Chain A
Amino acid sequence: MEKKNYRIRTYTDDDWEKSLDMILSHKPDLNFTMEYWDWRNRLSPHFDLSLVFVADENGNVIACGHAQVWDFKINRSQTIRGGLDTEVFVHREYRRRGIATEIRSFMKNNLRERGAILLIGPTLAKIYPRAQRWPDRPAFEIPDHLYHKTAYTKNLDCAALKEKVSTINNILNEHSEIRNELMKLNLTIFLRLKGYPPFVLEASQGEVSIKEGEPVEKPNVVVTASKELSSSTKMLTLMKMFFTGDVKVSGLLLNSNSLLEFYRILKKVSSYTVQKEH
């Protein structure tokens, strides 16, 4: 068994930068800054320095976690004291050693001492089934919580779609047999999809391209969708939307074969994308 070289202790001001460095080192894509970290903790009206813990290995912070005590309404008439927002970050190299569990245990004991009855925090839906089986204390979803029930989004540019098109082209480059099938197509589709700005999708010379805005030349097909339409929309749903008028397609009769062929090729490509992701 590996020897434990670290100790869990409460946080001191010297740990500020070290903790942030540790968090950034394994989550570089987060928009975390010192300013944000400061706001989240020291500036918070609920900040309690004694509820921040670090795992210290020879003066280096290898993990940290914090909680805050809030009074929650649990129904119209009752308020309850609970711990909120517990987050534990463990340096990538030190994971799977039980450090997070140890920090959590410290946190829970301290929260209990402060009269907290519940520990409340958000988690990813995919982790939730596992959370229900946590051995020491299972966690349960809070029913009908007020926020985060409905999520809406609107894309203001086609960056996400451009990324997808780039993946498609990469796969086409890797699989010449699909690329050859696409070579036979020359199709320009103008799409007005809900949740996206208008864009033109073009299949020509064995490549797929996307351009934001109105088409310069007359497109072969124009698709207008008043309901959400995405690459995961199934053919049956698409047909239903077509017949209910949620999706309108002009130029369909003249280009039905090309469209079906393009759809078939995209499906084939997407199966490779899924394989790649796995």
Chain B
Amino acid sequence: MSNSDYYVRAYVDGDETSLLSLFEQYYGSYAGFVPRTLQEWLWFCKLHPFIGPEGILVACKGKEIVGYAAIGIMSQGNGFQIYELCYDPSYDGELIVSNLLKRIEQFVNEKGGSHVNLYPPSDDALVRKVCDELGFIQYPHEEVVIAIILDIAKLVEHIIEGKGGEWKLGDETFFIRLKDVPLPSNIISIRWSDGKFSFSNRSVTDEPGVLVDTDFPTLSRLILGGESVPNAMLKSKLAIKPFWKIRKGIGLISLLCLREPWYIPRRGISQ
């Protein structure tokens, strides 16, 4: 098949299952992927008043659907935004993305839009290369995604429940004491015994084997990756007692760290 077999067409009813599987295939290659249901896909793309069926452009090779883009106006101004851009990497990704972006430019021109924005995952070198070739310019994005921890004890429990199997430091009882949190929720107690762990509050737990003394913001930063253990210790924001169990304390905090990328479902408004 030649390059001329690749083309872009408008969305038609019935495409959604293939487009959803493309979405899963494309974003599934990134860490922290959350599968979308068909209902969610339809809500986000087809029912979106800024996108609608008209804003869904489908890239094909012959009869195969190999990519798609969802484009619509931005929540502010006269610009357009590419809300989603997916392609099947087993085909000629560069050609698919390039065809889609060229068609999008045409689409935006027809609609009288002044500019078009795209927010690809930063580690997709192919999309970045094509953007560069087609005269897109990179600009600093001023939005950050933040998290407020609503329940730190539950978060700690949740992480340990999932990652506790990685614990290799033997049986131990830990207290994480948060100086700035009012009693009685200022202590999170974790007990490891025979490869199993349990959580309890202080009143029913023995004296701790390891006491991790810190505060809420520091523990949050340690979990979310905004702070390292040595730095927190140097700043006197974290202390592990007794000092000969420091290795176990650091082991616990390392277990709590979420170093892998987090997946944030796409918002309705990105600007």
Q: Does B155 contact A (CB under 8 A)?
A: yes
Report A241 CB to chain B, min CB distance, Å. 14
Kindly report which residue of chain A lies nearest to residue B82, judged by CB atoms: A152
What are the interface flags for A132-156 relative to B under an 8 Å C-beta threshold, 1 for contact and 0 otherwise?
Answer: 1010011111111111111111111
| CB pair B114 A137 closer than 8 Å | no
**How long is the Cα–Cα vector from A228 to B135 in the complex, in angstroms?**
9
Chain A residues whose CB sits within 8 angstroms of the CB of B136 once the complex forms: 152-154, 195
Most chain-A Cβ atoms within 10 A of its Cβ — which of B78, B105, B259, B261?
B261
| CB pair B137 A194 closer than 8 Å | yes
Report B46 CB to chain A, min CB distance, Å. 11
**How long is the Cα–Cα vector from A73 to B263 in the complex, in angstroms?**
6
| CB pair B33 A149 closer than 8 Å | no
Q: Does A276 contact B (CB under 8 A)?
A: no
Interface size class of A (residues with CB under 8 A): 35 or more
| CB pair A148 B75 closer than 8 Å | no
| CB pair B137 A153 closer than 8 Å | yes
Chain A residues whose CB sits within 8 angstroms of the CB of B234 once the complex forms: none
| CB pair A151 B119 closer than 8 Å | yes
**How long is the Cα–Cα vector from A72 to B159 in the complex, in angstroms?**
13
The total number of A-B Cβ pairs within 8 Å is 249
Q: Which residues in window 82-125 of A have CB below 8 A to B?
A: 82-85, 108, 111-112, 116-125
Chain A residues whose CB sits within 8 angstroms of the CB of B18 once the complex forms: none
Kindly report which residue of chain A lies nearest to residue B154, judged by CB atoms: A117
Q: Does A244 contact B (CB under 8 A)?
A: no
Report B162 CB to chain A, min CB distance, Å. 4
**How long is the Cα–Cα vector from A205 to B116 in the complex, in angstroms?**
35
Chain B residues whose CB sits within 8 angstroms of the CB of A153 once the complex forms: 79, 115-118, 136-137, 139
| CB pair B40 A140 closer than 8 Å | no
Chain A residues whose CB sits within 8 angstroms of the CB of B267 once the complex forms: 84-85, 122
Which chain B residues have a beta carbon within 8 Å of chain A's beta carbons? 27, 30-34, 37, 39-40, 43, 47-50, 73-79, 105, 108-109, 113-123, 128, 131, 134-151, 154-155, 158-159, 162-163, 216-217, 220-221, 224-226, 258-270
The 6 closest A-B pairs by CB, nearest first: A149-B122, A195-B137, A143-B225, A151-B141, A78-B162, A75-B260
Which chain A residues have a beta carbon within 8 Å of chain B's beta carbons? 29-33, 35-36, 39-40, 43-45, 70-80, 82-85, 108, 111-112, 116-126, 128, 131-132, 134, 137-157, 159-160, 194-195, 228
> What 17 additional pairs, Cβ within 8 angstroms, besides A39-B49, A82-B147, A84-B267?
A39-B47, A43-B43, A77-B163, A108-B150, A117-B149, A117-B154, A118-B148, A119-B148, A126-B142, A131-B146, A137-B148, A139-B148, A141-B146, A151-B138, A157-B115, A160-B115, A228-B138
